[in-house]
Structure 1
């Protein structure tokens, strides 16, 4: 391994590679346990990979494989989120969900799905006729045959949660190293991790690299034990006027390949339709195709007819780190004090805190001596959801910079000087919602470029940021 200048003058107990939602949760849990932690990320900000694009559902695990580790971690992660949420200002929008059967063949599968849910410990389920299901959500098409009500499936803010996890970790002394792609790792009783930002030394390593999980394992010197096969999901975001017609999550009867296209409200007052499930080799680019998006819009209108012709606020595509197996790909290598949390697909947001708990248990088996465990510091990040008061509603809110999403100058300035400030414009958008509304930054990008000048790795070029 070629020598690299040190990124830090100090060595760490544990290095976590990959700043998606799982990596952020792992840093928090390890820092709470007294570990001296560094988070290494190849991008300019957290959530720069798979974690930036998801459907933001906090799952119950009703449809997870019975007896699986994934199910255990979803349930543990959900329970911790519900416990933490009120104290940290992490919102929970209580919507419930309907698994909808649109023909007799799909309806025949509902009994088995409900039985699996109950086997998984999710008791708050009910089989409904089409008419009864429509009574709970009048906007549903009268083509509905039957449904399962999953009362405890809800939606959350998918960006503030991981930012909160990392912010807590940083408050406990964790370091965040950005723009640091792992080049190679060597273990000689201690890990020496060569990155594009310098070398990092640590006694143990956790791979949470998502779409690059198998590549990171190889660069750490491990023989391949799993293969990431990127799965693209395209989404359509409808205007806020659609929200009144979609008060609940509408799930399809899943197939062997995918959970299928979902129609659901978002915590920000929009309606989401998607994702598709498209295999591809490219781990970086997730393009959107007009015909596919038109198909999603048509499908949404079939499910909720009032959505026909509803204005589109945004379209986007994300990549999920699926693998060759329909299961989490978790490996522990005690002889080299390494843990891999790979193949974390669509349930990663729900399972992140559970995965962090699991990673800590595996690391405790390494026999590392850590500092005394710490209490979680109190903090409360600004609320971005439409279900709780926001800054613009305060009498002293000052300048409104983004009028579509009602983002104040005070919110943007606070994000820029926060303990984990945005490294790029996408990060600023995810922290504030600025530029995410109906005009997609057409009116506010010039003001945002002025406010962020010299503060982001890549200056905002007006009109080019839509991710």
Structure 2
């Protein structure tokens, strides 16, 4: 089943979702499961083309979120639902736990407050750990660590397969998705929205704005003014090569500041170690460049926390943008009269909160008087596994031509990604579905074969020897 349509001007949907990041994919899924006819519009060529493609992939418990906030409620609801559907959709969880590590007297003094906040948020399994306990658990950590707070249920997930799974389930249960469909105008006429896009005109009774870095601009289009202002915040990351994974098993979190959660050291589901992000304000909503000075600083910070990381080669560098606003909290509102919901200002916790935000959006929709009947027997897709701690496709029997030797990606995986219900529509989308060209050679050896396999499939073909995101 193909998930995208060129245009259906005569068809009217119950809900149009703007944006195919992790929030938009989760919202599309929730509304479809509840029985709504859903259309998703994405200005990019594929899902996760904006802020959602770059994050630290941590499944958060909400232990350090503002007590009583919508953020903590959605994070915890999202965490609970994700864990409930993991086996049903073949999603990944790398169970690591996390330690908030304190390195000086000032940071040690803050641990009591962090623990109290965690308990207030219902995360009752946190506990203080001594220097000796930390070193026993993490023998490669800098022995200058003073103390910490263990958060056992902070884990790592595959940040790309999860939202792909959400949209796949939505599509397999009737949703439609249109890509390269930038919203240009929206008018409320006769109880429905008439939305003009670069792919034509679409109609829906209700609109849910999940446009991330462009959320304020989309709200301006729908309502005539925006209730918030996006202020992009860049985060740069360093990815260490596979040997680094043997040096750490627990997420290392810093004692946070008022402005940022700080730099973390975390294993990835793909067998690497990630260090980052930074927190840098910028005006550009599209381009997230990296700079040598900052990246060297991240490498140095990683080696300071886990000295042996200083001997491991860097596998990749990248930067992502977070849709921060002028306020720290989520910017969620509803205009029930005009049939509009915005889910804005969803920053680093969005990967965890996505399913919870989708639940919240549907409650707002229902409270506005909308009535739909939940699906009795929805389809539950099984997602391909990309995580390193579980069986990979190359280990399975059959024709296992290895296309990408760094990441052990098979031709079967690539062809599956090109022909799935939500097919890869550009090279970035293919990488996120398969890990192809993401290894230590960054596509130097395998990009020619990938270009051959994908010939004629992408609007912008893969050019061998050219750097891609």
**TM tier, shorter chain?**
over 0.9
1 CA distance for matches of 2:329 and 2:371?
32
Q: Show structure 2 runs of 5+ residues with no match.
A: 1-5
The secondary structure found in structure 2 opposite 1:220 is: helix
The residue number in structure 1 matching 2:60 is: 59
Q: Show structure 1 runs of 5+ residues with no match.
A: none
**TM-score scaled to structure 1, two decimals?**
0.98
The residue number in structure 1 matching 2:432 is: 430
Contact 1:19 1:46 in 2 (8 A): yes
Aligned with residue 402 of structure 2, among 400, 403, 421: 400
The residue number in structure 1 matching 2:77 is: 76
The residue number in structure 1 matching 2:182 is: 181
Against the structure 1 CA distance between its residues 465 and 426, is the aligned structure 2 distance closer, same or farther, given a 3 Å change threshold? Answer: farther
Contact 1:241 1:270 in 2 (8 A): yes
2 CA distance for matches of 1:136 and 1:454?
50
2 CA distance for matches of 1:372 and 1:117?
35
**TM-score scaled to structure 2, two decimals?**
0.97
The residue number in structure 1 matching 2:172 is: 171
Aligned with residue 228 of structure 2, among 220, 226, 229: 226
Aligned with residue 381 of structure 1, among 380, 383, 388: 383
The residue number in structure 2 matching 1:450 is: 452
Q: Summarize deviations over 1:244-273 as a string: whole Å, max 9, x none.
A: 001110000000000000000000000000
Pairwise CA distance, 1:372:
4.6
Pairwise CA distance, 1:434:
0.4
The residue number in structure 2 matching 1:199 is: 201
Q: Summarize deviations over 1:346-381 as a string: whole Å, max 9, x none.
A: 000000000000010011123234355343312211
The residue number in structure 1 matching 2:26 is: 25
Q: Summarize deviations over 1:282-321 as a string: whole Å, max 9, x none.
A: 0000000000000000000000001013111100000000
1:104-143 alignment, distance < 5 Å: 104-143=105-144
The residue number in structure 2 matching 1:460 is: 462
Pairwise CA distance, 1:129:
1.6
Pairwise CA distance, 1:7:
4.4
Aligned with residue 410 of structure 1, among 389, 409, 412: 412
The residue number in structure 1 matching 2:3 is: none
The secondary structure found in structure 1 opposite 2:341 is: strand
1:268-279 alignment, distance < 5 Å: 268-279=270-281
The residue number in structure 2 matching 1:303 is: 305
CA RMSD of aligned residues (A): 1.1
Contact 1:34 1:374 in 2 (8 A): no
> How many pairs does the alignment contain?
463
Contact 1:426 1:465 in 2 (8 A): no
Deviates more, 1:128-137 or 1:329-338: 128-137
Pairwise CA distance, 1:9:
3.0
Contact 1:63 1:117 in 2 (8 A): yes
The residue number in structure 2 matching 1:329 is: 331
2 CA distance for matches of 1:375 and 1:291?
54
The residue number in structure 2 matching 1:161 is: 162
2 CA distance for matches of 1:313 and 1:8?
47
The residue number in structure 2 matching 1:419 is: 421
